[in-house]
Chain A
Amino acid sequence: MTFSDPSPREPAARASRPAAPAAVPSDAPDDAAPRSNAWQRTLGAASNPDLKLAMAASGTALSLFTVGHMAGNMQVYAGRERFNEYARMLRRAGAPVLPPNTLLWVARAGLLASAGVHVLAGTELTLRSMRREGRTVAVTARQVTLRIATVVGSRPRPALPGRPLGVPTSAPEQPTGAPTGTPKASRRAPFAGAFLPDRSGAPRRRPRGRRRTLPQLVARSMRSTGAVLGLFVGYHVMDLTTGTRPAAARSFEHGDAYGNLVSSLSRPVVAAFYAASMAALAGHMVHGLRTAALDTGLTGTAQRVHRVDVAAKAVGAVVAIGNVSIPVAVQIKVVR
């Protein structure tokens, strides 16, 4: 393997693997001299269900925060004074007893710890699943970049003068003069099959009736949506908490939460980015809550699987729609 394998849990029976040329020779050094580092002693020593429990606990904490955050956000519709008063209340919570900002920093520390646990456990679980599948980080990264390149290369491009609308093809161009107004409808998998597993030369295209639906693709995109959410949170904090330029708007002013929100979301690109991130949040939360219910043993019957599914979809949809409504409202000048 081309990455340093952090885990000593490689089963001895796994001497040979199918169809993974890079994977076969490299287990020897790990088996011969098992290194012990902090990662191994903590994450590497935990079993899969325990790591999943850690994911479930930290993910549920973060989900509860997003629910509360969304509910707080809704006060933006109650006007500038109410919203700014809410922001001041958050800073002064526990005021007479505790110094200001104490509870705020406790909450921040808890969220940061949850996010850290979530990312670390997710990384270890991902590495484990890759090892079990006989993949390596390097090969997977290559496949992912190849897929991204494929998607970028075949994306539908806007019609410009002299360039027909639609998906560029490597096939010979149609004779000029042919109708070019509409893109040719293709029946390929969503995103040009970019999220289908790459099996070293095996076909991307699954058989009729077995192609993956969008919810299935979203469910297997937890790592991508999680990365989007991580980047989004970084931007969101710089934009509306610290007011760091260029993330924040030019007129950022500490203490005026309402004004900062409006001036930030008045920028159409930022509003679109917030909306897209909320789509990622919805996808991540729906499948995350579902999986958390599995990992805590709640889905013992088919009826409960169904109920959890409905509840997870409802929570994810409510949070995402509630949050998305704000950039939309700012853009259409309902909130200003």
Chain B
Amino acid sequence: MLLTVHVWRQPDAETQGGFETVHPVEAREEMSVLELLDAVNETLERQGDEPVSFDDGCREGICGKCGVTVDGVPHGPDRNRASCMQSLNAYRDGDEIFVEPMRAGALPVKKDLSVDKKSLRRVSKEAKFPVAMKALNTAGCISCGACIAACPNGSGQLFVGTMLKHLPPLAKTPEERDERAAKVLDAADQEFGPCSLLGDCTEVCPAGLPLQNLTSVTRENLHRKFPDRYPAPQGPEDEGSEGAGAEKK
């Protein structure tokens, strides 16, 4: 099928960008979004233009490097898949596609479709980087940043909550555990916005992280503020106090 692709061009972080229309782009339904961008670059090179730059990695959905926004949806039209694992099943011959970088204050654009994902790393570093990576690996999070891009508040609570959920078993002492959690909470507050439980993050997350991971952030915060009333969550198996309907009268 032949598609018209409107692709975001932005020479650098400071300059204002805009959409550039690329036509025709020869695509097949089973192509991923990154393969579509390869096809876009083929067309651009044929037309003598500079190819569009985008984040590219393993193309197996496990490195978390890639990620663009397709028609307003981070990663692309399929749920819970990284850009490199998407398909173009949602599109028909002659359709137009808008491809832009992931949109979030915490993910500034570097060039064209490529974004700076250092904010995720800055939050991870607060929990001792190897430990944070281990926690995220255990949960399956690949730190792709799609949850932040999907959130209209720019909140990374799915990422932060997942990390906090899996951090406790990796600490040697309760003090170490509390200190790491507090540092992560502070860093997340600096980098990301507040969570409104809209659930857009869980629709785009390539790891399919569940909505209840958001709760880890609030539980850690409650434990930090009222350590006596709220015991420290002890890890992914610790489900917290019973009483889901307590406040519902």
State which of A126-134, A170-178, A242-250 sits at the interface with chain B.
A126-134
Q: How many residues of B contact A (CB 8 A)?
A: 72
State which of B48-56, B130-138, B183-191 sits at the interface with chain A.
B183-191
Shortest Cβ distance from residue B172 to the other chain A in the assembled complex, whole angstroms: 24
In the complex, which of the residues A13, A50, A202 contacts B221, with contact meaning CB atoms closer than 8 Å? Answer: A50
Interface of B is mostly: loop
Task: Provide the residues of chain A in CB contact with B195, threshold 8 Å.
Answer: 48, 52, 294
Of all chain A residues, the one with the shortest Cβ separation from B225 is A50
Task: Provide the residues of chain A in CB contact with B79, threshold 8 Å.
Answer: 209-210
Given A133-B154, A199-B100, A202-B98, verify A291-B196 contact (CB < 8 Å). yes
Q: Does B109 contact A (CB under 8 A)?
A: yes
Given A18-B109, A207-B90, A311-B245, verify A297-B218 contact (CB < 8 Å). yes
Task: Provide the residues of chain B in CB contact with A307, threshold 8 Å.
Answer: 244-245
Task: Provide the residues of chain B in CB contact with A296, threshold 8 Å.
Answer: 218, 222, 247
Query: Judging by beta carbons under 8 Å apart, are A299 and B90 in contact?
Result: no
Q: Does B179 contact A (CB under 8 A)?
A: no
Given A51-B194, A52-B194, verify A289-B77 contact (CB < 8 Å). no
State which of B15-23, B24-32, B37-45, B58-66 sits at the interface with chain A.
B15-23
In the complex, which of the residues A129, A134, A206, A207 contacts B155, with contact meaning CB atoms closer than 8 Å? Answer: A129
Distance between Cα atoms of A204 and B71 in the complex (Å): 8
Task: Provide the residues of chain B in CB contact with A205, threshold 8 Å.
Answer: 71-72
Query: Judging by beta carbons under 8 Å apart, are A207 and B245 in contact?
Result: no
Q: Chain B 219-246, CB within 8 Å of chain A: the 1/0 string?
A: 1011001000010000000111001111
Query: Judging by beta carbons under 8 Å apart, are A299 and B152 in contact?
Result: no
Query: Judging by beta carbons under 8 Å apart, are A304 and B105 in contact?
Result: no
Q: Chain A 282-319, CB within 8 Å of chain B: the 1/0 string?
A: 00000101111111111111101101100110110000
Task: Provide the residues of chain A in CB contact with B72, threshold 8 Å.
Answer: 196-197, 199, 202-206
Task: Provide the residues of chain B in CB contact with A21, threshold 8 Å.
Answer: 16
Query: Judging by beta carbons under 8 Å apart, are B71 and A206 in contact?
Result: yes
Distance between Cα atoms of A66 and B185 in the complex (Å): 34
Which chain A residues numbered 15 to 58 have a C-beta less than 8 Å away from chain B? 16-19, 21, 24, 47-53
Query: Judging by beta carbons under 8 Å apart, are A299 and B215 in contact?
Result: yes
Which chain B residues numbered 168 to 208 have a C-beta less than 8 Å away from chain A? 185-186, 189-199, 203
Q: How many residues of A contact B (CB 8 A)?
A: 67
Distance between Cα atoms of A45 and B65 in the complex (Å): 34
Query: Judging by beta carbons under 8 Å apart, are A133 and B152 in contact?
Result: yes
Of all chain B residues, the one with the shortest Cβ separation from A304 is B244
Distance between Cα atoms of A199 and B189 in the complex (Å): 24
Task: Provide the residues of chain B in CB contact with A292, threshold 8 Å.
Answer: 247
Chain B CB within 10 Å, residue with most, of A60, A134, A300, A312: A300
Given A9-B190, A299-B212, A300-B212, verify A220-B198 contact (CB < 8 Å). yes
Shortest Cβ distance from residue B122 to the other chain A in the assembled complex, whole angstroms: 7
Q: Does A89 contact B (CB under 8 A)?
A: no
Of all chain B residues, the one with the shortest Cβ separation from A121 is B194
Query: Judging by beta carbons under 8 Å apart, are B73 and A210 in contact?
Result: yes
Shortest Cβ distance from residue B85 to the other chain A in the assembled complex, whole angstroms: 15
Distance between Cα atoms of A308 and B247 in the complex (Å): 10
Q: Does A125 contact B (CB under 8 A)?
A: yes
Chain A CB within 10 Å, residue with most, of B72, B225, B238: B72
In the complex, which of the residues B77, B107, B155, B196 contacts A209, with contact meaning CB atoms closer than 8 Å? Answer: B77
Task: Provide the residues of chain B in CB contact with A206, threshold 8 Å.
Answer: 71-73
Distance between Cα atoms of A289 and B247 in the complex (Å): 9
Query: Judging by beta carbons under 8 Å apart, are B196 and A222 in contact?
Result: yes
Which chain A residues numbered 184 to 217 have a C-beta less than 8 Å away from chain B? 196-197, 199, 201-210, 216
Distance between Cα atoms of A305 and B211 in the complex (Å): 8
Shortest Cβ distance from residue A286 to the other chain B in the assembled complex, whole angstroms: 11
Distance between Cα atoms of A290 and B248 in the complex (Å): 10
In the complex, which of the residues B118, B189, B212 contacts A304, with contact meaning CB atoms closer than 8 Å? Answer: B212
Distance between Cα atoms of A210 and B71 in the complex (Å): 10
Query: Judging by beta carbons under 8 Å apart, are A294 and B73 in contact?
Result: no
Task: Provide the residues of chain B in CB contact with A197, threshold 8 Å.
Answer: 72, 152
Query: Judging by beta carbons under 8 Å apart, are B240 and A297 in contact?
Result: yes
- 17 more A-B residue pairs beyond the given contacts A132-B193, A207-B70, A314-B248, with a C-beta to C-beta distance below 8 A: A49-B218, A52-B194, A125-B153, A129-B154, A132-B105, A134-B104, A197-B72, A197-B152, A201-B19, A203-B72, A203-B98, A216-B198, A289-B247, A290-B197, A294-B215, A296-B218, A297-B215
